[in-house]
Amino acid sequence: LHRMIRGESTPDEIQTAHADYNMSYPISSKLLCNLFSLFSAPKRPKKLLIFFVAILRYSVIVIQFYLVLLVFIEGLELEIWVGIALTFLLTTIIPSVAFGKLFVREASAILILSIFLIPIEIILSCTFILWCFNLAIPALLGMRFLYKK
């Protein structure tokens, strides 16, 4: 079991453990099977897929921020892309327990984007709009389905 949790077990060892567990506890065997499969080490193609999905997610967030900035400021310079990317890099690096890193995101955006002479009010508005679209609204919609009777 400890080898499975550390991700050092082979697929055959996981199958054997599932079969042993199925005999003893048949009701929760499918749940445990799914749990053990989460701890198995991903193969190389899966790691590449995870990497490209992470890059895609990061790119979408940077593009969203740029588009929201275009709503407030006309004719942005191309260097702003570097500032936006650095903002989200800094947000990712700084640990936070706040809901959705709300204040960390704003602080890093103000720190980096104020270098490009963007007013603080616009920076705060853009980060709040993105927070609403990417975190708050999906969370509220999810709560609706979660508490649906």
70-120: per-residue pLDDT in tens?
A: 999 988 888 899 999 999 888 888 877 766 666 888 889 999 999 999 999
Considering the chain, what is the average pLDDT of its residues?
A: 79
Radius of gyration of the chain (CA): 22
Q: In 3-state terms, what secondary structure has residue 38?
A: helix
Question: For residue 145, what pLDDT band results from cuts at 50, 70 and 90?
Answer: confident
How many Cβ atoms sit within 10 Å of the Cβ of residue 108?
21
Residues 6+ apart with CB under 8 A from 50: 42
Using a 10 angstrom Cβ sphere, with 0-12 exposed, 13-18 middle and 19 or more buried, the burial of residue 22 is: middle
pLDDT at residue 22 is higher than 80: no
Average pLDDT for 127-138: 90
pLDDT at residue 125 is higher than 70: yes
Which element (helix H / strand E) includes 21? helix 11-24
DSSP sequence for 44-94:
HHHHHHHHHHHHHHHHHHHHHHHHHHHHHSSS--TTHHHHHHHHHHHHHHS
For the full predicted model, state whether its pTM sits above 0.85. Answer: no
Residues 6+ apart with CB under 8 A from 83: 112, 113, 115, 116
Give the pLDDT of residue 48: 84
